[in-house]
Amino acid sequence: MRLSAGVLTLVCMLIGCSVNQPMPQATLMGQVEAGMPAMNKSNAIYELPVREGLSYQDVADSLKSLALSMNFVNPANFSITEHIKNRGIDPQGIKEVQSFCNLSLGTEIFLDHPEFLVFAPCRIAIYEKPDANKRMRLFIALARPTYDLSHIKQPSLRAQQAAVALETSLLSLIHKASKGDF
C-alpha cells in the first residue's frame, strides 16, 4: 500500500509539472476554422483574400459589426491611403490599418508581461494588391498575437493561452469579414 501511495504522489507531481509548463513556442498559434488556409507558424501575418464583389466598405462594416459582437473594441483606424494621396503619391489601391482590442484576453497577457503592450492593440489591415492573375484584389490580414508573444522571453502559460485564444478569435473575425458576414 505504501508503494502505491508513493507512486501516486510521483504521478501527481509529474502531471502537475507538465500542466504548469509553458507551451513549446513552436506550437503557439491560433486555430483556423474549416475552409481557411493553413497557418504558417513562422509568418507574423495571416492573410485572406476578400470574397469577389465585396467592397472595402462592406469589409470595414463587417469587421466593426462582428468585432462588437465578439467583445472587441475598435479604438483606432489609420487610412494610409489618404496620407499617401495627401503627399501626391498614387497609393495603388486601398491601404488601411484598423486596431482591435479585447481587454478580457489582453489583460491576461499584460498582467504577466507589460512589455507586450508594444504589440497592442491588435492590428488588422485591409488592402489591395495584385492577385496571382495580376488583378488588383482586396485582402484582409492579421498581425498574429502568438507570433508577437514569441518575442517575449519566457511567456507565462496564462499569457500563452490568452494569446492563442485572442488569435483564434481574430482569425475567426477576419474570416467572417472576408466573406462580408455580420
For residue 155, which amino acid is it?
A: P
Give pLDDT tens digits for 63-107: 999 999 999 999 999 999 999 999 999 999 999 999 999 999 999
For residue 144, which amino acid is it?
A: R
The model carries a pTM of 0.84
For the cut 50, the answer to whether the pLDDT of residue 174 exceeds it is: yes
Average pLDDT over residues 48-65: 97
The predicted structure's pLDDT at residue 56: 97
Average pLDDT over residues 162-166: 98
Backbone angles phi, psi at 162, to 5 degrees: -65, -40
Q: For 30-156, where are the alpha helices, taking DSSP H only? A: 56-69, 80-86, 103-112, 145-149
Domain ranges of the chain: 46-178
46-178 CATH fold: TATA-Binding Protein (3.30.310)
Please enumerate in sequence order all residues whose Cβ is within 8 A of that of 62, keeping only pairs 6 or more positions apart, or say none.
176, 177, 179, 180, 181, 182
- In the chain, what percentage of residues exceed pLDDT 70? 86
